[in-house]
A and B are shown apart, each in its own frame.
Chain A
């Protein structure tokens, strides 16, 4: 956003007197708000706290693994640290991050609506998130949980002496927050589109959230049931999972992954939506293969429900079941590949600018590609036998979750920051931060692929000495990554107080969110927009006065 003169060309109409941020300053006006944008801010603040806590646990893990011996943390503590890192990051950061913050803020604006379909339910889902998160934090303060975020039985139901059920209840309650958000999005996208906003004019960010919402709605009840069954066994000793009292431990793994594999797509699909926005808009060109990207999101959501058994290749699952799951896992890779090819093709003959969000967009493609391809290693049964439960798996899902989802989240946050806050952040520092994140991330996780193939098991507090050198690389990378992630906290906060005021449309983009002021008024638009242009339309038909903007730009330069 270095072009100051964008302020001249980007303001479509005069600023409204009151925007959603200035519409009330009391605590009550925030805590009882029904405005989807304010609820998004509530999510932003609280999810960031969980992200920071999860990050602190990550740092402790990397520090412990600097040396082979279990010296900084003894193994009981280490087990709690990696469990809590996983629980916080998965359930309280990755799952809510993009949908509940960016999706909440943007979906109504992108489709030209005043709010979500059920504003009160939207607020309720934030309170459920807070209740679930609060309960989990309380459990962590009491002493935490040591089962791994996967809660495998019978360890979790019979043997663990930690606060399993308290954390389980936290996740249970938080699940309802997810369900309600998904429900809200689906109804909103179906019923509240502005006149002219047809399904195939929707931004791909909205399509991705539609697919995500389907998974949230259909998958999350299964984890809720699973947690209840765990509670029955742990508290009432009903034999469900523990073979000593007549249960089946593999049943738990089926139920757990029936939710938790689709949950991977809850974390990944919204990020793909963000990337589609970034790549198309910063190439100033209609996205390549719009329908294919839109339907590949739906395909991922559907096939994502059919591959859970690839987590169970070595668990003693029937070999025939394994074959089916392995085959379907290969099939689910195709829609992801289609997206990557279409994003790359979108760049062809575009006008690509390298603002910070686009840096994240391009980094994302590279990292997600590696994350996706290494998924094929794990989907091939014979190879999975050697790789599963090693650091290869750890590296793989961090490439997907951090290299994918977190980069998309950061890219999206930078992209819409001016819209959300009405302020511009430092382009210089944000670029430095993006590069540090990219370099630090690769240095942290690439060595772990090699460690995994060498046979270093995951969830080990101590490890054989021959693995130390690569672990030192990994810890060094994590320090760089940590610096890269702390920086936005500083320059974003700075921008709120001292940042330059943002124009309504700093890059002159066609999306509806750029056709209202920054920050938007409480009702999003002063009058309901009528959509006459296609998604990512950079021609004169978009209704943007591009010619005028170009001339003004030439004059000011």
Chain B
């Protein structure tokens, strides 16, 4: 993106695995457009010269139409437009279906900044550091108005909508620095709500992680909320006679509700169950849970979702569940309050994680390694 070439750039950099698909579709459409534009323009020029008025008040040829031609020029554009539709649908499908092994990053937009947090706890504002060649999935929401998270070099974007989660994923193909922009008008400083994505070699990324000593991971923070701050554990833990629904093994599975519906327990479902508990009650339980609406920030919600996910023993959860983090942390009240820009103040127990990491980092780690870190072992 930062090329110092004297040329006026006419084409954006390609830096994700599906960027070429979007560009391929673009060039196909450019070719179709050029074909029709040149064809029609040539016909108009030709007719305009050949049939220019030579005699005043003359009468043109008696041609009223042609069913054959009408059929032809309805069907050919229709067929072409169907190929465009199919191409667009396939590329879209690739853009929005995250692979299962993607490393997760949580994003909260607010007027006018992006707050991002890695699985390992590192927080960033208006910057996103990711390793090259790894599948990365962003789960996003906003505290206020609609924003849109766009990375043109990756050819992807999605609206970030209050009250729900949206996700994108990508796999960056080359190290570099790429623009990250808010693309949905969001008020006064909309054009300032942008930053950079830094794509790094795995080794550099590991170094960056170790240099950015962080607070709790989302799962740790979520567990803290669950067990201490919000008291969820008083109903949702305890075994056989607990009052609230069992959360272990819940995430990603089907849930039968008291109203007869069956839903998949995804991020959206968990979020909704915290904010509007009585709307989707699991079969066999009483609607006794109070709403947490207004008492919990978007970031805390994301942390709770991450914690509930970790209870299902999915590969995200197991490794990043720490052993000793929560007790020390609960004391310093390090909740991620909205609007606090510098919330990654160093927290004691995590400090030594960096130390082990610098030795244990593995530059030759396989690219599709499902786990983000091996340094906690």
Interfacial residues, chain A to chain B (CB-CB below 8 A): 3, 9, 70, 75-76, 79, 146-148, 150, 152, 154-155, 158-160, 242-244, 248-250, 283-286, 288-292, 313-316, 319, 322-323, 326-327, 330-331, 333-334, 337-338, 340-342, 344-345, 347-354, 362, 365-366, 369-370, 373-374, 376-377, 379-386, 388-390, 450, 453-455, 457-464, 466, 469-470, 508, 538-539, 546, 549-550, 553, 557
Contacts and interface: CB of A to CB of B under 8 A. Distances in A.
A258 to B, nearest CB: 18
**Most central of A316, A379, A546 by chain B CB within 10 Å:** A316
Contacts of B48: 347, 352, 354, 362
B327 interface: no
Given A159-B187, A350-B60, A351-B55, A385 B161 contact: no
A284 B59 contact: yes
Given A352-B53, A382-B87, A450-B10, A285 B161 contact: no
Contact of B85 (A244, A350, A380): A380
Contacts of A330: 78, 81-82, 84-85
B60 A538 contact: yes
Contacts of A370: 33, 37
B111 interface: yes
Which 3 pairs between the two chains have the least Cβ-Cβ distance?
Answer: A382-B91, A243-B163, A455-B152
B44 A366 contact: yes
Given A322-B92, A353-B53, A373-B36, 14 more contacts: A148-B185, A155-B185, A288-B64, A289-B70, A319-B96, A327-B85, A330-B81, A333-B77, A373-B37, A377-B29, A382-B89, A450-B10, A538-B60, A550-B55
A147 B1 CA distance: 31
A249 B141 CA distance: 13
B173 interface: no
B190 A340 contact: no
A426 to B, nearest CB: 20
B40 A340 contact: yes
B158 A316 contact: yes
A154 B145 contact: yes
Contacts of A148: 185
A155 B146 contact: yes
A523 to B, nearest CB: 29
A89 B138 CA distance: 38
Given A155-B146, A385-B157, A469-B8, A326 B85 contact: yes
B163 A248 contact: yes
Contacts of B148: 314, 389
Interface in B144-175: 144-146, 148, 150, 152-153, 155-159, 161-164, 166
Contacts of B70: 289, 292, 338, 342
A79 B22 contact: no
Nearest to A450: B10
A354 B49 CA distance: 11
Contact of A288 (B11, B65, B82): B65
Given A344-B44, A366-B41, A385-B156, A454 B10 contact: yes
A334 B81 contact: yes
Contact-residue size bin, chain B (C-beta under 8 Å from the other chain):
35 or more
A270 to B, nearest CB: 22
Contact of B191 (A333, A338, A390, A462): A462
Nearest to A473: B8
Contact of A152 (B88, B146, B163, B181): B146
A286 B65 CA distance: 9
A389 B150 contact: yes
Contact of B53 (A242, A351, A373): A351
A416 to B, nearest CB: 20
B54 interface: yes
B246 interface: no
**Most central of A158, A248, A286 by chain B CB within 10 Å:** A286
B88 A383 contact: yes
A155 B89 contact: no
Contacts of A248: 163
B288 interface: no
Nearest to A313: B92
A249 B162 contact: yes
A385 B155 contact: yes
Contact of B84 (A376, A385, A508, A553): A376
Given A338-B70, A388-B157, A70 B88 contact: no
A439 B185 CA distance: 31
A469 B6 CA distance: 11
23 contacts: A75-B189, A154-B162, A243-B164, A244-B163, A249-B163, A250-B161, A283-B60, A285-B63, A288-B64, A289-B64, A313-B92, A319-B93, A327-B85, A330-B85, A347-B43, A354-B48, A377-B26, A382-B95, A454-B152, A458-B183, A459-B190, A461-B190, A546-B59
Given A155-B146, A553-B57, A381 B47 contact: no
A159 B144 contact: yes
A334 B37 contact: no
Contact of B57 (A9, A244, A323): A9
B89 A386 contact: no
A349 B61 contact: yes
Nearest to B81: A330
B88 A384 contact: yes
A534 to B, nearest CB: 9
A51 B51 CA distance: 36
A76 B185 CA distance: 12
A351 B52 CA distance: 5
Nearest to B61: A349
Nearest to A466: B9
A350 B51 contact: yes
